[in-house]
Structure formats: C-alpha cells, structure tokens
Amino acid sequence: MNIRTFLGGVAIAAIALPGLAQAETFSLWVRSDGSEFMPKLVDAFNAKGEDKAELQIVPVNELVQKYAIAAAGGSEPDALSLDLIYTPSFAQAGQLKDMTEFAKSLPYYDHLSKAHLTVGTYDGKIYGMPFSADASVLVWNKNLFEEAGLDPDKAPTNWAEVREDAEAVSALGDETYGFYFSGNCGGCNIFTFMPLVWASGGALFEDEGAKATVTTPQMKDAIEFYRGMVEDGLVPAGSQTDSGSNFFAAFAGGNIGLTPSGSFAIGALNNQYPDLEYGVTYLPGKDGDWSSFAGGDNIVVSAKTEEEKMPAIQAFIEFAYSPEGQKILAQNGSLPVRDDVAEQALEGLDARYMIAAEAMAKGKTPYSPVFNDLINSLNGPWITMLNRAFFADSEDEVDDAMAEAQDEMQSIIDSSR
C-alpha cells in the first residue's frame, strides 16, 4: 500500500510530512529522431510511479539552436536527450549539470557505452550519460551479389575485398553500381567514412579535441580508396552532389552492391523493402579489423534544473537503463547502451541488430567542443575536403585539400579555446 492510498487521495503535495519524498514532474526534450522510442519509454515510466516526465519532441534540425536559446533565456527543459556529439560544447558553455557522482554510483556503470561517456565527459566530469544509440555498419545487396557470382552470405573484411565485390556488381551493368556514399554530406561521412580510418589506426582529433589530425597516412589511404572507386565508375555520378538525401534511398533502390549505412537501415529495409535481401557487417579497415561510429543521444540535465527534480530525473534514467527500458528502446529503433543486457533487449528482433550492437559497443565518437563548425557545417572544412578529395583529378589535389582542411580545422579549434 502506498501513502496515497493510505491518505485516501488527499493531495500529498499539500502536506508537509517529514522524510516523505514528493512526486515531481520534470520537462524533457528529445529530437525528432527519437519520436518512435521516446514517447513509449516516457509512457512506460509515467505509468509506473508518481514522478512524471513531460515530453516535447523538437525537430532534429532545430533542437541544438532551440536549446541554446532557451538556456540563455532561462526557459530550458529540465532534461534533454541531446545528440551526443554536442555534449562537450554545452558542457564547456556551463549549461549542463555535473552527473559524475550519480553515473559512477550505478552498479552497471562499467557496462554503459564507453563512446557515449567519452563525449559526455568534459574537464574530467560527466555531463552526459548514454541514452539512445545507433551504429554505422556496411550493408550489401545479396540479390546482386548472387547475380554477380559472389557468395551472397560472405561479407567483405577489408578494403580489397570491398573493391573486388564492388567491381563484380558493377560489371552487371544496367545502371547497377558496386558502391555508394553521399559525397557532399559531412554528417554522413563522419558517421560512415571515419570508421574506415579508425579501423586502420588513424584518428581525426587528439588531446580531447585540441588537435586536428587530418593529414595522416590512414586518412590519405581511405580517401584514395573512395577516389579509386569513383575514378573507375564503381560509384554513380550523383554521389558527388548528394548532401544526404540519398544516404538510405540509393541502396534501397536495389541497384547498389554495397554502402556504408546505419543500424536504423535494418528496420527501414525490413518494413519498406521486404523483398530486398541484404547483409550487415562491420566497416573494415584497410587490412582488416573494423570500427564504427557510435551515434545516438546522451541524456543531459540543464545546469539550472532545481535539485528537488533530480531524484525523478535519475529515476527516469535508471528506468531507461533497466532491462525493460532497454527492451523498449530496442523494439523502437535504438540500440541498447548497456552491453550486459544487449542480448536480452534484442531478443526476438532481427539477428542483424546484434551485429550493429556489437559495432556500437566497439565504436568511437569524435570529441570536439566545436564539432558543428568542423564537421556538420555545410561549408565546413571536413566536407569541403572530402568532396574535393573524393572526386579529385590528381593525388596532388588530394594533398592540397587535406592540408587546407588541417589548417582550417586547427584554426577553428584554437580560436574557440
């Protein structure tokens, strides 16, 4: 029997009972990418206890600016499911609450996504905790593999094998191409191209984002890998101008052999293209190994959130981390962020999700307080370099593009400190 039943419905909030925790309502924002799983998770949490989350879904392209304006004006939400890459930026600006003690008190802390926690940490303190997850993977069209005389169940494990498979599929002709990527999309390529570099031993940033490392042999090799496929006609010409609109649609059309994508593609392909037979594997390095971009959201708490609301917010986070919460997330489009319950959360779902979950668990996330200016900006140094280099006519042009990106990135980083 709870205290509400005992008091016969008398409003608890109106009674000052020593030691009795008051029910709290807290505001919670999520970007529209989470519109499938977050309402279901919130409904399940709200149905369980007295604390309530009031959810607002914000268009994905508006959330960061909307939150920045709200935080500056004092109208920010109590908690926010934030694209994890922006956690360092808002932490640096002093707009987030330190959650280190709470995070490390959780008995399963060591099983939470390391990539999420890495970008959730600023100046040695945890400001963002793992919430939802996506991972970059390589998908291949089994129908086209079989037509091309390839083993439809054999995934490529290095760049040479990707290239060989792409050549075989492209040889089918009839507007069929071996490989596809969105050549003018910064976000797409940090998500799907950078893992090729990581898997080969390279990096993009060092020293917690204080140093750009663009001009490395691993970056050059990965760029030349893509440029070689472009030069030899294995990639359709439309890739050069694709700013992301065909990131998923190109492969779904059925005439692309292989493409780097995200774990979200599994549900989308199953629901929208049930006749397309496809495989999912890891994004390989030049000579083997593999990596992934660990994407998704961190849950953060606004710096000005009242302390009396913290127990309710923490209860919500713990519910999200529970096996029940992780299953709700998994059933509605998010990978688990607790690796010790991942298999349980994904039970009964497409087995290919487990590959994506393993990729996410080993995945990385670039750390930079100025990520948007460096990577996501439409005219920023990252996509300017890649678009120029992927479609360059000469190796010298590739080198020039990389050198210019290195200088511009480091300049932006230095001016922000």
Mean of pLDDT values over 153-174: 97
Count the domains in the chain: 2
Q: Residue 6: pLDDT above 60?
A: no
In this structure, are 222 and 142 located in the same domain?
Answer: yes
Query: Which carries the bigger pLDDT value, residue 15 or residue 358?
Result: 358
Mean of pLDDT values over 135-149: 98
Predicted confidence at residue 1, as pLDDT, reads: 38
Residues 6+ positions from 117 with CB-CB distance below 8 Å: 103, 126, 128, 129, 130
Mean of pLDDT values over 185-198: 97
In this structure, are 113 and 74 located in the same domain?
Answer: yes
Pairing of strands 211-212, 205-206: antiparallel
Predicted confidence at residue 67, as pLDDT, reads: 94
Predicted confidence at residue 416, as pLDDT, reads: 87
Mean of pLDDT values over 105-120: 97
Mean of pLDDT values over 187-206: 97
List the beta strands (DSSP E) in 42-105.
Answer: 52-58, 79-83
Mean of pLDDT values over 99-121: 97
Q: State whether residue 64 is helix, strand or coil.
A: helix
User: At which of 343, 362, 381 does a domain end?
Assistant: 362
In this structure, are 66 and 164 located in the same domain?
Answer: no
In this structure, are 110 and 202 located in the same domain?
Answer: no
Average pLDDT score, the chain: 93
- CATH at residue 116: 3.40.190.10
Eight-class DSSP state of 96: B
Does a structural domain hold residue 397? yes
In this structure, are 184 and 213 located in the same domain?
Answer: yes
Does a structural domain hold residue 394? yes
In this structure, are 259 and 246 located in the same domain?
Answer: yes
| pLDDT band at 3; cut points 50, 70, 90 | very low
Predicted confidence at residue 350, as pLDDT, reads: 96
| pLDDT band at 175; cut points 50, 70, 90 | very high
4: its two tokens? 């509400």
In this structure, are 307 and 317 located in the same domain?
Answer: yes
In which residue are the tokens 């480091």 written? 410
In this structure, are 249 and 153 located in the same domain?
Answer: yes
333: domain range? Answer: 23-134+295-362
Q: How far apart are CA 320 and CA 42, in angstroms?
A: 9
pLDDT, tens digit, 9 for 90 and up, residues 36-71: 999 999 999 999 878 999 999 999 889 999 999 999
Predicted confidence at residue 20, as pLDDT, reads: 52
pTM here is: 0.89
Predicted confidence at residue 291, as pLDDT, reads: 97
Predicted confidence at residue 22, as pLDDT, reads: 75
Does a structural domain hold residue 9? no
User: At which of 331, 347, 362 does a domain end?
Assistant: 362
Does a structural domain hold residue 208? yes
Q: How far apart are CA 388 and CA 372, in angstroms?
A: 20
Q: Residue 300: pLDDT above 90?
A: yes
| pLDDT band at 97; cut points 50, 70, 90 | very high
Does a structural domain hold residue 7? no
Q: Show the CA angle centred on residue 349, arms to residues 347 and 353, nearest 5°.
A: 100
In this structure, are 257 and 143 located in the same domain?
Answer: yes
| pLDDT band at 21; cut points 50, 70, 90 | low
Predicted confidence at residue 50, as pLDDT, reads: 85
**% pLDDT > 90, the chain:** 91
Q: Residue 415: pLDDT above 70?
A: yes
